[in-house]
Structure formats: structure tokens, C-alpha cells
Structure 1
Amino acid sequence: MSDGVGSLYMLNTCPFTWKVRALLDHLDLPHERVKINPLKIKKSVSFAGDWGKTPVWKMSDGEVVVDSTPIMKRIDEVYNNGNLWKMDDQVRRDKWMEWADTKMKDATIPILYGSIGSALSTTRSVAKHERFGFFTGRIYAWLGFPIMWGIIAKKRTKKTGMEPGELWHHLLNEWTEEIGEKSFFGGNTPHIVDLAVFGYMQSIEMHSKAFRLIENHSKGMLWFNRMRNSTVAQ
């Protein structure tokens, strides 16, 4: 392990990994990022037991934490005295953290893979950004998109009853209405909930075709850019 507070075992395109990255960057915590071959995740994180997914956080003292939200809370607790998770209105905090981890999570696959064009564009992007082998990445790019579009994304889109772009605009309306006239969910400074939502959006931003569907939401993008400017390291 390199010098730092811990190691993040990750996929570059994983939305849940981006949540943790947003927190680590915001706190400017030095850490190691261990990029995993998507076809060897279970083997790469076998030290985390039966989890078999990303992200996995391994602290410098050997403690292992799995699942993005618990990882964020633990990092904040150990290295920031829990200040980013603290909030007087705990009911509001818990409600919107759950909202991010259900509503935004469920909306991510449809916007990335909701049409043939976006699905092909996203799988090509994933093949480029992840640690595939040369031929494996190209096979994934061409064979992965029919599965993601034809089975997974279609099923989730049907469940919501909205087209992917429409759904994200609806969610960003809810989010910005909750923030109101304040700069962030946390008021004048970001809260962990801000960082979670920011992480989900960053995971879409790296896929330009999908991100174009939401970047015309003016209030949402104003908040997104405030978050980017508030983040210490990129």
C-alpha cells in the first residue's frame, strides 16, 4: 500500500466508486486507487469476503469497509470527526441519503444505456476507461451494449414510466427544490448527501452522449458546478 489513508479498490466507471472518490477529493485525503479488471472483481477483492463488488475501501491499518455509503461515513468518521455526516435534522439527512441511493442509483443505468446509440457509446467508453485487455475490451464494447440496452436498461425504464432524460430532469427538479436558495444541501458547505449526488452525476459526465441529456438542466448544473468548485482535488 502506498503512503496515504487507505486504498480504494475501484472501477473507473462505477457510480458507487465515484461517490467515494468525491468524498476523498473533497477532503483532499491522500490514498491509493487500485484499478480492477472488471472480469476479475471477485478475485481482486477476495479479502473483503463475499462482497465481490466495487468499491472496497482498505484503510492503512488493514480495516476493510464495503459498500459506498458506509465507506463514506467511515472515512468521514475517522479522518474528519464525522463532520460531513453531522446534521441537526437527522430525519431530513437520512431521507435524502436514501433518496440518492435509490432514486439516482436506479436512474443511472437507463440514462447510460437507455437507447441503442447511448448503450453503444457507453459500452465503448467503459471499454476505454476500464482495465480490460486489448481484445476483451473490444469484445465487451460490441457484445455488452445489446444486453445493457435490450434487457437491463429497458426493464428499469419501463419501471419508472419515464424516458431517461425526463427522469433525470424530474430528479434534479426534486433535488434543487430541496436545496432552495442555499448553495448546497448542507447549506453554505457540502454535506455527504451533496457528495453522493455529485458522485452519481460525475459517473455520467464521463459518458458525453448520456450527460448531454441532463446538462441543460440549469439549476442542476449550477449546483453541480458549485460542487466541482468546492472540491479540493480533482
Structure 2
Amino acid sequence: MAAACARTLVSKVGWSLLQRPAARRPGTGTVSYLLGNVSARGSRRTYGTGVHRSTLLSSLRAGGARALGCAFLLGGGLGLYQTVKLSVRQQQHRAEEEEEEGGTKAAGRDLKLTLYQYKTCPFCSKVRAFLDFYGLPYEVVEVNPVMRKELKWSTYRKVPILMVQDGVQLNDSSVIISSLRTYLINKDKSMSEVIRCYPELKSVNDSGKEVTEYSNKYWLMLSEERNAETYPEKGMQKEEMKWRKWADDWLVHLISPNVYRTTGEALASFDYIVREGKFGAFEGFFAKYVGAAAMFLIAKRLKSRHNLQDDVRQDLYKAVNDWVAAIGKKRKFMGGDRPNLADLAVFGVLRVMEGLQAFDDMMDNSKVQHWYRRMEKATLEHEGRD
């Protein structure tokens, strides 16, 4: 600002000099006085041809004043041009920085994420599917399911837990997904501000056990404008929320009865769990054999609790066929050309059965295969990143 004011003053001085009369006497102004002194001292040596001294002085003063005035104007103009040019560059730079900050947040690169999980947990798999699809970098801490020493710092003892920088802790798979998606869309909100929209609700269930639930867990907390951009067609938001809830309340309860359907399948499932999880040697042996037997019995109880058929595979086939029918033949995903949060939730739940007999049977005896392979590609290639 000071430089700009100085250049403006110089320009004004130069213009006033140009407006002065050419024949002003020496001593009436600083510029004329300086030019007069120079002319007086050098006139006889320089001009020895008999030209009248006063005429030479008058001409020199007039020409010198105009020349100096032009110089002032030229200098001021160049200074003003450079000032404007610099100001424009600074504004462009600030705009680029703001755009880069927005782009960084939209891509989630400003987040430092650490996921505490069991790899074979369907709720943890849901979170990984979301993070992978949107290309969000994250570290994984595999929790020992017996001792859970990795969670001793937390009063919340379930997985998944997602830690964000500045000590922000996100619990519950659906809350993690909803709050992160809200954050990526709402560029003007911090993660701490977003998570306040999903308050904890503690209650006691019918068994007398305290349980924790979360308000708004299937909602994205967006302004009307952002909401309209995210869900441009009528019914899209309601459909997404309905099927996300379906994945938590129904689909996930079909996993255990199917992967522990027989003693052989239970043993194969626990072999996979031990291989992929974090167990000590004794814990692994104990989990594989004792755990397999226990889960075989628990699966029978779950079948009764959820009113499943004797052949629980039929309930699994029907569930995924209902899902594919809801997508329809005209859409690649429930989200249209790109997966939405319901697609990611269903995919995450089903993915934990990969490598087991239940998964192979599902792919062979239902209509879910083509959608599943599209989802697999979308998450592996981080198609939501752009």
C-alpha cells in the first residue's frame, strides 16, 4: 500500500511539472533552480558559438522541466503497472491456495486416519470399503480379539474405531461413514464440528445390559444446497438410508449362521479368522477349535433368534437377490453410475465371507455376482477419489 501511494504521488508531481510555464525564472522552483545552476556553470564552456546566454538558459529550463516531468510520469506509470500486476498475482495465488485447500479436503488428504479393527468383522469391512472407495489413506491396527490390549486407552471397547488427527475418535461403523462423508462434502466444517451432529445415546436393553447408540447415524449433515447436489433425484437419500440400515439390521445377521452352518464350515471359518487376525500361538489354537465349536452352537441360536430357515443359505440368497432387484436392471449400482453409501455397506458386509464356502455358494446361486465384481473394481481402483 505504501509503495502504491508513493508511486501515485510521483505521478502527480510529474504531471504538475509538465503543466508549469516554460519561461519561469530560476529560483522559483526546485527543478528550475537545479537546472539553472547547472546551466550557469557550464554555459561558457559548452556553448562558445555566440548564442545568447539567456536564450540558452530559457530553452534548457523549459526542455529540462518537460523532460523531468515525463520521466516522473513514466516512472510513476511503470510503478503503478507493477503494483497492479503484483496485486493480481497475489490474488491469483491466494485463490489457487484456497482451491488447493478445498481440493485437499475434498480428497481427504488432510486427514490422518487410524483404523482399529478385526479384519474379519463385517462392520470393520464396511469402513474399509468406504475408505478404499474414496481413496482415503489410513493405517490399520489389528486388535487382538481376546485381550484387546490395543484398545486399553479407550473407554469404548468395540471395533471399528477410527482415530482422526487432533484426538477425534469416531465409533460405530455407520457413524464413521456418515461423518466422514459429511466432512468431505462440507468443506467449511471441521471433523470436530461434524461429529457433534452424531451424539451418543446410552440406554439399557431388555437383558439389563447398557448399550450405546448414536443419533442421526444414517444421515449426512448437509445444507439444503449441498444435499440437493448430493441427492439430485427425488427419493435417492431415503433409498440410501433404508438399505444402509438393512445392511446393519438384517444382512449382517446372516453372516454367522452361514459361515458356521456346519462343523466343517465353522472350523474352516475359524482357520481363516486365526490366519487373518492377530492371535498368539496358544490363542490361535484355542480360537480355532474351541471357538469353532462355540460359534457352531451360537449360529444355531442366531438362526432361531432371527427366524431363519433350516437351510440358512436360502435366506442369504434371498437377501442378496432382493438387493439386486432393488438396484434394478437400468443401474450399475444403487447410486447409479457410481456406488453410494448403501452399495459400500452391503459390499463391505458380504466381503468378509470371501474364501469361505458360503461366499462361493452365494456367487453361484444368486444374482449378486455382476454387481459384486463391479464393486470390487470400484473399491480397488478408488473410483470415488475424483
Relative to the length of structure 1, the TM-score reads: 0.90
Alignment of 1:1-234 (within 5 A): 5-41=112-148, 43-49=149-155, 51-81=156-186, 86-87=230-231, 88-89=234-235, 90-150=237-297, 152-158=298-304, 159-162=306-309, 163-181=311-329, 182-205=331-354, 207-231=355-379, 232-233=381-382
Higher relative contact order (Cα pairs below 8 Å, separated by 6+ residues): 1
Equivalent residues of 1:114, 1:157 under 8 A apart: no
Residue 80 of structure 1 and its aligned partner are, at CA, apart by: 4.5
Equivalent residues of 1:114, 1:149 under 8 A apart: yes
Equivalent residues of 1:5, 1:31 under 8 A apart: yes
Q: Name the SS for the 2:353 alignment partner.
A: helix
Could you list the runs of 5+ residues in structure 2 that have no partner in the other structure?
Answer: 1-109, 187-219, 221-225
Deviates most, 190-199 or 215-224: 215-224
Residue 11 of structure 1 and its aligned partner are, at CA, apart by: 0.8
Q: Which residue pairs with 2:68 in the alignment?
A: none
Paired letter, 1:154? K
Q: 2:230 and 2:254 mapped to 1: Cα distance? A: 27
Deviates most, 11-20 or 216-225: 216-225
Equivalent residues of 1:4, 1:32 under 8 A apart: no
Percent of pairs with identical residues: 31
Spell out, residue by residue over 1:115-172, the C-alpha distance to the aligned partner (whole angstroms, 9 max, x if none): 111111101111111110022101210111111001x100122333322211110001
Equivalent residues of 1:48, 1:66 under 8 A apart: no
Q: 2:247 and 2:262 mapped to 1: Cα distance? A: 23
Residue 45 of structure 1 and its aligned partner are, at CA, apart by: 2.3
Q: 1:114 and 1:146 mapped to 2: Cα distance? A: 11
Q: Name the SS for the 2:337 alignment partner.
A: coil
Q: Name the SS for the 2:332 alignment partner.
A: coil
Residue 4 of structure 1 and its aligned partner are, at CA, apart by: 5.4
Could you list the runs of 5+ residues in structure 1 that have no partner in the other structure?
Answer: none
Q: 1:177 and 1:57 mapped to 2: Cα distance? A: 33
Paired letter, 1:11? Y
Deviates most, 163-172 or 74-83: 74-83
Q: Name the SS for the 1:111 alignment partner.
A: helix
Q: 1:169 to 1:101 in 2, by over 3 A?
A: same
Equivalent residues of 1:19, 1:195 under 8 A apart: yes
Relative to the length of structure 2, the TM-score reads: 0.56
Q: Name the SS for the 1:64 alignment partner.
A: strand
Q: 2:163 and 2:173 mapped to 1: Cα distance? A: 12
Residue 219 of structure 1 and its aligned partner are, at CA, apart by: 2.5
Residue 38 of structure 1 and its aligned partner are, at CA, apart by: 1.0
Q: How many residues align?
A: 228
Q: Name the SS for the 2:166 alignment partner.
A: coil
**Rg larger in structure:** 2
